[in-house]
Amino acid sequence: MRTRAAVIYKMDAPAPYAGSRPLVIEELEIEAPQAGEVLVELVGAGLCHSDLSTVNGTIPRRMPMILGHEASGIVREVGAGVKDFQPDDHVVFSFVPTCGHCLSCATGRPALCENGSKANLAGTLLSGGVRFRRADSQPVYHYLGVSAFAQYTVVAQESLVKIEKNVPLDKAALFGCALITGVGAVINTAKVMPGESVVIFGLGGVGLSALMGARLVGASPIIAVDILPAKFELAKRLGADYTIAASEGDPVAAIRDLTGGGTNYAFEAVGNANVLSQAYRATRTGGKTISIGITNPKQEVSIQAISLVAQEKTLQGSFMGSAVPRRDIPRLIQLYMNGRLPADELLSPSVTLEEINTGFDRLAEGSAIRQLVNFS
């Protein structure tokens, strides 16, 4: 069958992307799902900074490729051996296919699945296959096993989480990246307790999700930091007690003044080594800094080494919110359905597939939080 998709052929195109058009809308051939694979019709697909990191060349990927990893859809066909999914099931995608038998999976850390990571790096499905082709038979590679910027995609069954049909399906896409990454970093990685202080650097989709997670667990106070004060009204609605404009002074000094010496936890959701260093310095003795943002591989972080010992401070990464996708995505969705996780607040106006380059301009300039691609 054929599907329309947004294909990227070359990274590091100049902004604005509405002019340079790094993503090209094409019709591609998509093969039927093979053993252990599933054909899904996309309903919601979010524009995320991780996708932008490939567009702007920060994180190189294999070209040509269909981007998009935060998504939801409807199962249309299943391959041989697929038992957990059937046509018409509603699903959310997991951007790490979890093999279930590598050391990371076996020790309860499926977000770090070794075989899934290898497939993602290669631009293939978990099996090593590629299911998209141009008319000239050239392969078009998969992004994080999902490739959501297409009307249809084929994925490994290990890349899917089944959800209830009463969940708004387009909005469910947010739980595949922003929510699971941000809330998961608070709950799974940091394990923040009620009454502990939290600061969040960066108020994009993931940072605001971390803020929601901090409010959910009863953190206090919650401090939100960004260079764009326009984001502060939303941050306050989502639970921030204080907001700090990083562009108007020293945020570390301001945080330490507000908290009497620093916070218990700092979350860096920008993807910048200098900001990560600030987050680390904003924590108190015994504090923990969690790095969530994806940085350029060439960046290195600078911290005071002796503080790791003398102050027992911790610097830790969190990938995909240290999540178990088939456990955590349904739990977070249930919190959303019960009104305890206001995920709708993240939504900016949707874009069509043809408007996707303009959407990345809005994401890059910070004028949009989460835009969903409208495939209808």
pLDDT at 109: 96
- Where does residue 251 rank: exposed (0-12), middle (13-18), buried (19+ CB within 10 A)? buried
- Structure confidence at residue 95 (pLDDT): 98
pLDDT at site 376: 78
The answer on 157 and 270 residing in a single domain is no
pLDDT of residue 251: 97
Give SS3 for 238: coil
Domain shared by 19 and 80, yes or no: yes
Domain contains 167: yes
**Whole-angstrom distance, CA of residue 191 vs CA of residue 290:** 11
170 and 192 within one domain: no
| CA–CA distance, 275 with 284 (Å, rounded to integer) | 17
Q: How far apart are CA 159 and CA 326, in angstroms?
A: 10
Q: Residue 280: give the domain boundaries.
A: 182-319
Give pLDDT tens digits along the chain (376 positions). Answer: 999 999 999 999 999 999 999 999 999 999 999 999 999 999 999 999 999 999 999 999 999 999 999 999 999 999 999 999 999 999 999 999 999 999 999 999 999 999 999 999 999 999 999 999 999 999 999 999 999 999 999 999 999 999 999 999 999 999 999 999 999 999 999 999 999 999 999 999 999 999 999 999 999 999 999 999 999 999 999 999 999 999 999 999 999 999 999 999 999 999 999 999 999 999 999 999 999 999 999 999 999 999 999 999 999 999 999 999 999 999 999 999 999 999 999 999 999 999 999 999 999 999 999 999 998 7
| Predicted local confidence at residue 360, as pLDDT | 98
How far is CA 159 from each of CA 36, 148, 171, 320, rounded to the nearest angstrom?
A: 11, 12, 18, 13
**Same structural domain, 117 and 203:** no
Q: Do 168 and 83 fall within a single domain?
A: yes
Query: Are 269 and 120 members of one domain?
Result: no
Establish if 353 belongs to a structural domain: yes
CATH number of the structural domain spanning residue 23: 3.90.180.10
Distance CA 144, CA 96 (A): 7
Chain-centre distance for alpha carbon 230: 22
Specify the DSSP element, H or E, that contains 360. helix 356-365
For residue 156, which of 93, 89, 90, 105 has the smallest C-alpha distance?
93
The pTM assigned to this predicted structure is 0.97
- Domain match, 110 and 258 both: no
Q: How many CB atoms lie within 10 A of CB 261?
A: 12
Q: Are residues 140 and 56 in the same domain?
A: yes
Whether residue 28 sits in one domain with residue 8: yes
Residue type, position 159, single letter = S
Residue of 323, 281, 274, 288 whose CA lies nearest to 108: 323
Residues 79 and 200 in one domain: no
Q: What is the CATH number of the domain that holds 234?
A: 3.40.50.720
Nearest-angstrom CA–CA distance, 119 and 125: 6
My answer on whether 32 and 132 are in the same domain is yes
Question: What is the structure's pLDDT at 297?
Answer: 92
> Running DSSP on this structure, what letter comes out for residue 251?
H
Same domain, 94 and 130: yes
Using omega within 30 degrees of 0 as the cis cutoff, is the peptide bond preceding 221 cis? yes
Nearest partner of 86 among 94, 77, 95, judged by Cα: 77
- How many independent structural domains does the chain possess? 2
Sequence-distant (6+) residues with CB within 8 A of 271 are 49, 53, 58, 202, 293, 294, 295, 296
Distance between CA atoms of residues 47 and 52, nearest Å: 8
Starting from the edge strand earliest in sequence, which strands make up the sheet with 90-93, in order?
152-156, 37-46, 70-78, 90-93, 160-163
Residue of 237, 239, 250 lying closest to 192 (CA atoms): 239
The answer as to whether 203 is a domain residue is yes
Q: How is residue 110 written in tokens? A: 């499926």
Tokens, residue 123: 């631009």
